[in-house]
């Protein structure tokens, strides 16, 4: 028995095709395309790839997409000033500041920079005002990775209402917004983390299991209720041949990739889980492409809301 493969790449292509006419309508009505600005500070190799994908996806879809590079030596003040300039730039509807920021900006750099974002342009939904609105079930812009997971579940017709959803991980970026989004769709939700004593038993009670802990192959066969849906949010890089053999024995494709690049990607979910789960997202090709598609959709949503919000503000009269 082998789990159904939840093909995020194919669904992301479907979403991009659906967004195309909305982008064209916006561009025609506003006499300009939706605008995305991505701020990249320093030269983190992973970040370069993510940023390139986001820019290319937005640009290919007909958005204005610009990359603002800051030196690795840039200060926190430089980053905040860049955000403020983009807040004031009317051609920009959506601002994405790529994490991590350089160490030199300090431990709380992301927080300061996200707080400086105009919430209506906060394409990642990290500003406290957007987080609060998500909790209050009146979302404006919400985090792209959990949003992509919801979209994937819905398009694959996996029932959320009435399901027991277990979220492994409690980060601000994935775990907590994921739990709220599942709750608002009538799942019963359990959030587990590094301090959960009986993690395996709780995971094994899940109809939907979301793995977002950042440890390659951590979720094993015994974590899974037979037939459960497993969403693997982890993106981990294997660089040792021992790990390659441990996780992917006899996998010719992975072995070839490893020989070529010196590394392979794997999720938080062990490959053996495919023998027990009912449905499973691959890594790569599962949650990753959905996240990028949600960056595009949020860019368009931000653009539409900004265009609409201006009219609403005029007429609210309070």
User: Catalytic amino acids?
Assistant: 54, 98, 124
Q: What are phi and psi of 161, to 5 degrees?
A: -60, 130
Diameter over CA atoms, the chain: 68
- Give CA–CA dist 274/155, Å, rounded: 20
Per-residue burial over 204-241, b if 16 or more Cβ lie within 10 Å, else e, is: bebbbbbbbbeebbbbeeebbbeebbbbbbbbbebeee
Q: Which stretch binds a second copy (CB under 8 A): 95-103, 150-158, 187-195, 301-309?
A: 187-195
CB of 106 to a second copy, least distance (A): 12
- Least gap, CB of 312 to a second copy (angstroms): 13
Backbone torsions φ then ψ of 230, nearest 5 degrees: -120, 120
Subset of 110-149 contacting a second copy (CB under 8 A)? 111-112, 116, 127-133, 135-138
Single out the residue of 1, 107, 161, 311 in contact with a second copy (rule: CB under 8 A): 161
Q: Any contact of residue 191 with a second copy (CB under 8 A)? A: yes
Nearer to a second copy, 197 or 250 (CB): 197
Least distance in Å: CB of 43 to a second copy?
25
Phi/psi of residue 27, nearest 5 degrees: -65, -40
69 belongs to the binding site for a second copy (CB under 8 A):
no
Smallest distance, a second copy to C-beta of residue 111, A: 8
Alpha-carbon distance 89 to 280, whole Å? Answer: 42
Which of 49, 200 has the CB closer to a second copy? 200
Q: Closest separation between CB of residue 138 and a second copy, Å?
A: 8
> Does residue 262 interact with a second copy by CB under 8 A?
no
Among 96, 105, 189, 210, binds a second copy (CB under 8 A): 189
Residues binding a second copy: number (CB under 8 A):
39
Q: How far is CA 179 from CA 41, 95, 135, 283, in A?
A: 30, 25, 10, 21
Of the candidate residues 87, 188, 251, 305, the single one contacting a second copy (CB under 8 A) = 188
Q: Smallest gap, in angstroms, from Cβ of residue 75 to a second copy?
A: 10
Query: Using CB under 8 A, which of the segments 42-50, 185-193, 225-233, 283-291 binds a second copy?
Result: 185-193
Q: Which two tokens stand for residue 177?
A: 């917004």
* Angle between the N-to-C axes of helices 76-88 and 109-116, in degrees from 0 to 180, rounded to the nearest 10: 20
Helix (H, G, I), strand (E, B) or coil at 237: strand
**Binding of residue 229 to a second copy (CB under 8 A):** no
User: What secondary structure letter does DSSP report for 131?
Assistant: H
- Displacement of CA 193 from its chain's centroid (Å): 19
Strand-strand pairing, 264-266 and 236-238:
antiparallel
Element (H, E) at 129: helix 128-135
Out of 86, 94, 101, 192, name the contact with a second copy by CB under 8 A. Answer: 192
Interacting residues with a second copy (CB under 8 A): 76-77, 80, 111-112, 116, 127-133, 135-138, 161-162, 164, 170, 172, 176, 179-180, 183, 186, 188-193, 195-198, 202, 318
């Amino acid at each position: 028995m082998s789990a159904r493969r939840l093909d995020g790449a194919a669904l992301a292509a479907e979403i991009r095709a659906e967004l195309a006419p909305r982008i064209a309508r916006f561009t025609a009505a506003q006499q300009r395309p939706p605008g995305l600005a991505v701020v990249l500070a320093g030269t983190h190799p992973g970040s370069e790839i993510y940023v390139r994908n986001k820019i290319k996806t937005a640009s290919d879809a007909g958005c204005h997409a610009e990359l603002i590079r800051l030196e690795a030596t840039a200060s926190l003040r430089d980053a905040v000033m860049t955000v403020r300039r983009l807040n004031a730039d009317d051609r920009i509807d959506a601002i994405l500041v790529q994490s991590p920021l350089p160490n030199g900006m300090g431990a709380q750099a992301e927080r300061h920079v996200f707080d400086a974002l105009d919430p209506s342009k906060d394409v990642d939904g990290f500003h406290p005002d957007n987080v609060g609105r998500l909790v209050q079930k009146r979302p404006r812009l919400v985090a792209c990775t959990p949003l992509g997971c919801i979209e994937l579940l819905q398009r694959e017709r996996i029932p959320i209402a009435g399901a027991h959803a277990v979220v492994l991980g409690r980060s601000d970026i994935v775990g907590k917004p994921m739990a709220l989004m599942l709750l608002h769709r009538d799942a019963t939700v359990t959030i587990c983390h590094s301090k959960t004593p009986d993690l395996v038993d709780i995971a094994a009670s899940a109809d939907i299991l979301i793995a977002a802990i950042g440890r390659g192959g951590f979720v094993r066969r015994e974590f899974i209720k037979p037939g459960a849906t497993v969403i693997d949010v982890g993106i981990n890089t294997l660089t040792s041949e021992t790990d390659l053999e441990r996780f992917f024995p006899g996998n010719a494709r992975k072995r070839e990739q490893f020989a070529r690049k010196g590394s392979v990607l794997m999720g938080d979910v062990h490959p053996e889980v495919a023998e027990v789960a009912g449905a499973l997202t691959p890594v790569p090709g599962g949650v990753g492409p959905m996240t990028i598609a949600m960056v595009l959709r949020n860019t368009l949503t931000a653009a539409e809301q900004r265009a609409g919000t201006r009219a609403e503000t005029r007429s609210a009269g309070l």
